[in-house]
Every structure is written in structure tokens, then in C-alpha cells.
Structure 1
Amino acid sequence: MIRSRRAVAGLVLLATLLALVFAGPLVAPWSWDDTDFAALRSGPTAEHWLGTTESGRDVFAVTLRGARTSLLIGLAVAVISTGIAAVVGTAAGYAGGRLDRTLMWGVDLLLALPPFLIVVLLAPHLDGGAPVLIPLLAAFMWMITARMVRAMTASLRDREYVLAARFLGVGAPRVIVRHVLPQLASLLAVDASLSVGVAIVAESGLSYLGLGVRPPDVSLGTLIADGHGAVAAYPLPFGFAAGLLVLIVLAVNLLGDGLRDGLDPASGGAR
């Protein structure tokens, strides 16, 4: 990873963005939910560094709040979806037989469903917000990785150290945790890092359509939706939110690609 320029660039950019998103509100003059009725859609000033929105909220503070929401949702979705893929894939690959066929049938069924259409149909009937959005997105992001994990686990199942552990009477869960998952760590790490970007884009798209994060909370998607109508006359609210979205997705994708290159030299080697 250290030799991968992509990984280093992604890590540095992501660390900078995380510092901005989480430390920025501590030094900002205004909180994200404060309203300055004396400055409605004003330009940048010493008091409002990036101006205010149409409702009088500080653009800098409210955008950092939206970025934090999107980041936390993306991280949570990535962890949950990768965890599901690891559990289902290792169970199917290690057990084989009927359990393998049953789990893979469920994976194939989910792969055949149109995930975005299902989320769009379900979201209006739910309360919305991160507690609903996170499991909803995670439910449709683990199947392909589960198939990869299942194939790798099936190949590891017949290795000498695994067979020796099974011969000594070590239980399947312990064998998987001690001997199988460490061999899959690089795959799961790359998958989790890349899934963060996918989840953030998905959340932003749903929030832009009014199907994700809902008032009074904000995300990058809701801020982009609020600011696009007046982008020609007053571009700061839209531009800052859209710029942060692009940089965050770029950072996690660079990190994921760099990890893949660094951990699997055959895929391209260190760059």
C-alpha cells in the first residue's frame, strides 16, 4: 500500500476531507442549524465564510453537516454490506452442498432484482433518514462480493492447514475465523473502500430525489437539490456541496484502487 501512489493520494485526500468535515464545524462561527434572518442568500463575509442559503443558514456549516451525514451513511453501508458478503460467502464456500446451493440461489435471486427501482418504491413508504437508508442500501450491495468470497473460500477449504485443523476437530466457525478470513482480508478491504463511494453516490441520488435523508437533517444530495435551482445566480451552495461530493468519491476510489494494486501486484502493480 505504501508503494501505491493511488493509495497514498487517496488516503491523504480522504484524511484532509475528514479533518475538514469533522473539525470544520468546531471553528465555524455558525452552527449548521442556526438561521441568520439578517442575511438571506448573502455572499461570503467575515461572519459567513461562504455566504448563506435562501433560508439564512450558513453555507459552510450546513454543507459540512451534509458531508458528514453522507460520509457516515457511506461508511456504515460499506461495513454492513461487506460483513454480509463475508458471512454468506464463507458459509457457502466452506459448507458446500445444500447450504451452498441455497445461499447462492438467494444471491442469484437478489441479483436479478432491480435494486434502484425497489429502493425508490420502498423509500416513500418509510420514515426516511439514515436508520432506514443504511440497511436498505446495504441489502443490495453485497451479492457480487459474496460470490467472490464463496469461490475463494471453496479453494481454501482443501488447503493442508485447513484440512489439518478440521482433522484435529476444530469447529467450522473457528476454522473460518482463524484460517480463511485472514486470506480474504485484502479482498474485503478493497471491497469495503470501494463500496463507500458507491453508497455515497446512491444516498446522494436518493436524497436529491427526496427519497433519502429528509428535513430537518441534510446530506450532500439534499443540498445539491436545494441549490441547483439558483446555481446561475448564486452558485456557492450548489458548488460547495457538489465539489465535496466529487472529492469524497474520488478519494475513496483512489484509496480502493491503490489498495487493490498494492495488495494484488498482478492487477497492475504499484504505481
Structure 2
Amino acid sequence: MTVLQEEAVEASLDADAVVTGARRPLSRNRLVWLRLKSMPRFWVGAGVFAFIVLWAFTGPLLYPFSPTDRDVYNMNMGPTLMHWFGTNSIGQDIYAQTLSGLQKSLVIGLIAGPVATIIAAVVGSAAGYLGGWPDKVIGWFVHLLLVIPSFFILVLLSPIYKGLSWVALTVFLAIFSWMIMAQVVRSQTRSLRNRDFVRAARYMGMPTGAILRRHIIPNIASLLIIDATLGVVTAILSETSLSYFGFGVQKPDVSLGTLLADGTAAALTRPWLFVFPAMVLIALLFAISLIGDALRDAIDPTSGVNRG
């Protein structure tokens, strides 16, 4: 074979490698990321959410007033260069209180939402995989919890956690927010437990916990990611609603719900007490909802019309 022939063969092999590489299927994570990148609503939601988180935790460091400071010379004042969001009836700065309440609502939502999803994944996958009487017992328990809406359960239990810190409220929000997703996970697990790779793992003597952790839960991870994201919205809304009606965060702690409750009566006469916390809450929920909506369409394009 001449030198020219060898060079021609090598060029042909290189071309085949390029074509093969181009046709190589993308991994699922890569495909999801490429879909997300093409969705403007994802970037809008992620950008707004990142700004809100950064603002909530760095804003107080750049502001001269704390949530508990009182300016007795500027009580019930509207927004000024000194008090950006105005002050309340006892001279406390609304901007500082809004940032403090935003921190509290963010921490509660970002903990309670994912924890509820983890509970749903464990309970639902165990029930769907084991079947038989464990499935019936777990299913009966889940239906029992679904009889009464979780909001009313938390209201009934409020005397227990009201005397404790907001951490107790976070735990209770997570405990009573997993049931619907557990039903979805249970149904998906039933369809997965008879797949060949699950049967092979079972015949090899792999423990039930390992099968759930390695084969069942990874195959429903897309549902869990979406649920955890939207669960943050649910947790923030639940905390805000409970605090608004006096069943959630208790003074002297501050949350967006307590600020809205304090400002409702003066929404027409002193609108800054209500409008600024309400706008922050709306922007936060809007951003997380955009991210969750984009994730849903990126992971499962058949879930709805892709508006990105």
C-alpha cells in the first residue's frame, strides 16, 4: 500500500469517527440541559430567583437598619432615602423586615419542599415495590392523611409547634406535604418492579433497599426533581398562609406572612406596609414556578406544549 493510499484510508477512518461521534445519542442529563438552555422562561426564572436569594442574604449587610431597630422620629413614614420601604407604626424599617422575612420564607421553603419529596420517594417506592399487605397499609395511611387537607391539619396542630421555633413549623410542613407525590411514585414503582433489570437485581440477591436506591428511584428522578422544585412554592405558600392567620411563624420572628398580616389593615391608608412584602412574595413564587415549569417540559416534553 502506497503512502497516498494509507493517507486516504486514515482520512476515511477519521471521517467515519466524526460521523459516528455526531450520531452518538446524547445522555439524558445532557438532553435535558440542552432543552433548558433553549427556554427563555428558565433563564428568567433562574435569574430572578438567584437575584432574590442574593438580595435576601447580602442586602441586610449593606443596609444600616436591622428588623428590630426603631426610628421614633420617623414612625408611619412612607418610602424615603433613609427608609427605602418606609416604616411601621412603631418606627421599624419595612425594608429590613422584608429581607428578614424573605430569608425565613426561603429557608423554610428550600428545606420543607425537598424533604417532603424525599419522604414521598421513600414511602411511595417502598409501597409500590413490596406490594401485598405493606402496600395496603401504606396506601390506607396515605388516604387517611388525604381526607383532611394538610392546611387544616397544620392549623389543628398549631398549638404544638407555635410555642417552638420556626424550625418546628418547617418539619411539620414537610411531614404533611408528601402524600400526593407518594401516590404518583407508588404507581410508577409498580410499573418498574417487573422490568428485567429489577428482576435481575432481585434474583442476584440484592437487598430491597439497594434495589430501590439504585434501580427504582433513579428511574423516577425526573418526577422527583419537578416535585421538589414545585414543593418549594407549596411550602412557601403554606408558611405564608399559616403565618398570615397567626398559626405559623410567631413574633418576634418575621416572615412574609406576618408582614402581610400586619399590613393588611393599612393596605389603603399606608400601602407600603402591604405592597412591598406582597411584591417580593409574588416575584419569588413567580421565579420558582417558571423554573419548575421549564424543568417539567425539559424532562418530559409530552407533559404539555413547550412554550419556550
TM-score when normalising by structure 1: 0.95
Q: Of residues 37, 46, 61 in structure 2, which corresponds to 1:2?
A: 37
String of CA shifts for 1:197-248, please: whole Å, max 9, x gaps.
1111111111111111011011011101111222222211211101111111
Question: What is the letter of the counterpart of residue 89 of structure 2?
Answer: E
Q: Determine the structure 1 residue equivalent to 2:134.
A: 99
Is it true that 1:252 corresponds to 2:288 in the alignment? yes
Answer yes or no: is the 8 Å Cα contact 1:128–1:211 preserved in 2.
no
Provide structure 1 residue ranges, at least 5 long, that are not aligned to the other structure: none
Moved over 4 A (4+): none
Q: Determine the structure 1 residue equivalent to 2:200.
A: 164
Cα shift at 1:51: 1.9
Is it true that 1:180 corresponds to 2:203 in the alignment? no
Aligned pairs, how many?
Answer: 271
Answer yes or no: is the 8 Å Cα contact 2:266–2:273 preserved in 1.
no
Question: What is the letter of the counterpart of residue 126 of structure 2?
Answer: A
Is it true that 1:53 corresponds to 2:88 in the alignment? yes
Is it true that 1:265 corresponds to 2:305 in the alignment? no
Q: Rg bigger for which structure?
A: 2
Is it true that 1:19 corresponds to 2:73 in the alignment? no
Instruction: After TM superposition, list the pairs within 5 Å mapping 1:194-209 onto structure 2.
Output: 194-209=230-245
CA distance in 2, matches of 1:256, 1:246: 15
Shifted more, 182-191 versus 114-123: the winner is 114-123
Percent of residue pairs identical: 45
In structure 2, the residue corresponding to 1:36 is in which secondary structure?
A: coil
Question: What is the letter of the counterpart of residue 183 of structure 2?
Answer: R
Q: Determine the structure 1 residue equivalent to 2:65.
A: 30
CA distance in 1, matches of 2:176, 2:61: 36
Instruction: After TM superposition, list the pairs within 5 Å mapping 1:37-186 onto structure 2.
Output: 37-126=72-161, 127-186=163-222
CA distance in 2, matches of 1:34, 1:247: 26
Q: Aligned-pair RMSD on alpha carbons?
A: 1.5
Question: What is the letter of the counterpart of residue 60 of structure 2?
Answer: P
Cα shift at 1:269: 5.3
Q: Determine the structure 2 residue equivalent to 1:216.
A: 252
Provide structure 2 residue ranges, at least 5 long, that are not aligned to the other structure: 1-35
Cα shift at 1:125: 4.7
Higher relative contact order (CA 8 A, sep 6+): 1
Cα shift at 1:43: 2.6
Cα shift at 1:266: 0.8
CA distance in 2, matches of 1:88, 1:94: 10
CA distance in 1, matches of 2:85, 2:195: 59
